Amino acid sequence: MKITFKDGNSKDFEQGKSAYEIASSISSSLAKKSIYAMVNNEPVDLHRPLFEDAVLELKMKEDAFEVLNHSCSHLLAAAIKKIYPHAMFGVGPAIEEGFYYDMNLGDVKLSDADFPAIEKEMNRIASQDHPFKREEVTKEEAKLRFKNDRYKQEIIDELPADSVISLYQSGDFVDLCRGPHLPSTKFLKHFKLLHISGAYWRGDSQNEQLQRIYGVCFFEKEQLDAHLILLEEREKRDHRRLGKELDLFMISEYGPGFPFWLPKGMILRRALENYWFKVHTRENYQFIQTPIMLSKELWEISGHWSYYRENMYVSEIDEKQFVVKPMNCPGGMLVYRNSIHSYKDFPLRVGELGLVHRHEASGALTGLFRVRNFTQDDAHIFMREDQIVSEIGNLIRLFEEVYSVFQLEYHIELSTRPEKKYIGEIETWNKAEEALAKACHSVGRDFKVNPGDGAFYGPKLDFKLRDSMNRIWQCGTIQLDMFLPERFDLTYIDENGEKRRPIMLHRALFGSLERFIGVIIEHFGGAFPTWLAPVQVKLIPVNNEAHLDFVQKLAKQLQMDDIRVEIDQRDEKLGYKIRDAQMKKIPYQLVVGDKEVESNTLTIRKYKESEVLNLPVSEFIAQLIEEIKTLGQKC
């Protein structure tokens, strides 16, 4: 068989040779460093025999985090099976930052207190250097092997009758798995079990709840230690805790999943909204507002009633069913239909900060990240087909500009047609997906394909943001829709005076204000850039009787320049007031005493900086205005 390597060179090998044996023939050190292989762009075990011509790429530790953690999920299951022989297992995949395994332990309810015993057993098994052995069996054989595990039985039942099913064995433990895995358990030295939660079998709330254990594994101890420190920092930045400490928002038991915005949170929210309106006005968007409730018939036309009914709140008015809108799109269609449009109007960009409601499972609600009502920063863009690539390219540039203001990196994923729930012809979907890919290439942006994750009405580009804690968040999206204009009979008059169907984009930049605010609370650790901070300046008089009058006049001067300011005139010690302002993460604290009053200067303490500055009042205000303008108003 002919093996072609990454550098383009080829060599003939005897059939049945594994990637490890091929690597060994080149260099023993290369074989020793290899963890798994890519064969014709498919990941395979290092010791799996090869029988056909192939393109081979050997993967080292730096590329094997996913394989390492998938193997560690098997190690976790093996330890659980040893301690709890009656355990049954769901699935145990690698995830972005580690792995998890879902399991049913009957009446046994695990907690974090059980982790040391489980980790001890994992270490014992790993130290025995068990190889991960792959075995291929028929469907009947697989069912027999897992006759005591109804979850594995269910997975096997859904496979075609003639399927060849792969199993992996390490020591006494056998699991149903596609692989690939590490050569052996000896690599699984530096792991940590992190937390446990409930998880419905197959993600369906109608199914029973299993116990899900999360963990992470690294090749080196230093990597694990650094990751655990990062997790501690994330805990400190939890937006639910900071939201309470900074008086930004609250959740009431009378409205689970329905956030209340407190005064400082409203200031933060309004700052985001004002920035959004300013940048979109520059980009020639028009703005609308559509009703929160609309009749059931509208949602039948849009297709949401058939495809999204379980997430919608329904009420009755005058013996007719009305829906609290889960999306802004159908209302946007009605606004478009209200006028006659010409090809000269295109691209027509229509924006809406629209409040929507969706029924989320109570167990999924999480602070601002998963709520039941939120404001989508929506826009619908109507255009001709020949404008698709250029308009999406412009949107990508806009997204990049806005995310850079918040110091957020991102990558793009192209989500394609769902396997089952979709409308329209496959040929139309293929055309739309091709247009999105071409638009990314037109502005020099790479993307990752996310198969089957498109909306039911069209493919989309999802913008995955990476924050300062190295986490990925789904926020922005651009969805190409060739179907709703058809359903709502939207038209425009072309250059020949004939009616044509427009192409439409759905797009959201923040995704939702609530979720985005949660992301940036944790991204900045509550220490917002000055332009965004609810309180930008805290004025602290040394003595209220002697200095308060000067401070109050200074506050009015700052407010005249649209600077958000608070005075701390509590009867507390000066050091306490300064520490409190630091705890509230206020960008600037100005201490005013006799010297400042007499010289009309300010003693300035900046958040997290030890240096204390003294500046004339006018100079400080001028510098602060410039800082706010530079940091946040890049439009």
- Among residues 377, 378, 462, 467, the one annotated as catalytic is 378
- Residue keyed to tokens 């030890």: 610
Q: Which residues of 547-570 are buried (b: 16+ CB within 10 A; e: fewer)?
A: bbebbeebbeebeeeebbbbbbee
> Catalytic residue among 59, 237, 358, 584, which?
358
106: left (phi > 0), else alpha (psi -120 to 50), else beta? left
Tokens of 494: 């072309």
Place of tokens 């009420």: 315
- Phi, psi of 310, deg, nearest 5: -65, -15
What contacts 132, CB < 8 A, 6 or more positions away?
Answer: 45, 71, 74, 168, 169, 170, 179, 181, 182, 183, 184, 185
Rounded Cα–Cα distance for residues 333 and 299 (Å): 11
Place of tokens 């098997």: 74
Look at strands 448-450 and 409-415 and give their pairing: parallel
- The SS3 call for residue 571 is coil
- 594 tagged catalytic: no
To the query of whether residue 460 is one of the catalytic residues in this protein, the response is yes
Element (H, E) at 266: helix 263-282
The residues that bridge with 57 in the sheet, in sequence order, are 38
360 SS3 class: coil
Q: Give yes or no: 445 in active site.
A: no
Q: Which of 460, 633, 428, 432 is nearest to 530 (CA)?
A: 633
Asked about 32 being catalytic, the answer comes back as no
Query: Given 177, 217, 329, 440, which residue is catalytic?
Result: 329
Backbone phi, then psi, for 347, in 5-degree steps?
A: -70, 135
Q: Is 15 assigned a catalytic role?
A: no
Considering only CA atoms, which of 570, 548, 568, 551 is closest in space to residue 559?
Answer: 551
Q: Which residues of 582-614 are buried (b: 16+ CB within 10 A; e: fewer)?
A: eebbbbbbbbbbeebbeeebbbbbebeeeeeee
Candidate list 506, 523, 538, 605, residue with the active-site label: 506
- The structure tokens 């209340």 sit at 260
What are the start-end ranges of the H helices in 505-613?
513-523, 544-560, 574-583, 594-599
Q: Are 330 and 301 in contact (CB under 8 A)?
A: yes
State how far the Cα of 464 lies from the Cα of 44, in Å rounded to an integer: 28
Give CA–CA dist 453/24, Å, rounded. 41
Residue 14 tokens read as: 């005897």
What beta strand segments (E) does 244-372 contain?
249-251, 259-261, 286-287, 293-295, 313-317, 320-324, 348-357
Contact between 565 and 586 (Cβ < 8 Å)? no
Select which of 227, 237, 380, 584 is catalytic. Answer: 380
- 223 catalytically annotated: no
- Token readout for 569 is 């005139």
* Structure tokens that stand for 75 in this block: 């190690």
Q: Which one of the listed residues 460, 515, 564, 585 is annotated catalytic?
A: 460
Looking at the DSSP assignment, which residues form a beta bridge with residue 351? 287, 379
Q: Which of 376, 387, 479, 589 is catalytic?
A: 376
Tokens of 554: 């200074």
Q: Tell me the three-class secondary structure of 126-184, residue by residue.
A: HHCCCECEEEEEEHHHHHHHCCCCHHHHHHHHCCCCCCEEEEEEECCEEEECCCCCCCE
Closest CA relative to residue 198, chosen from 376, 362, 369, 429: 362
Q: Are 448 and 413 in contact (CB under 8 A)?
A: yes
Question: What is the separation of C-alpha 460 from the centre of its chain, rounded to a whole number of angstroms?
Answer: 15
Active site residue 204: no
Kindly list the catalytic residues. 329, 358, 376, 378, 380, 460, 506
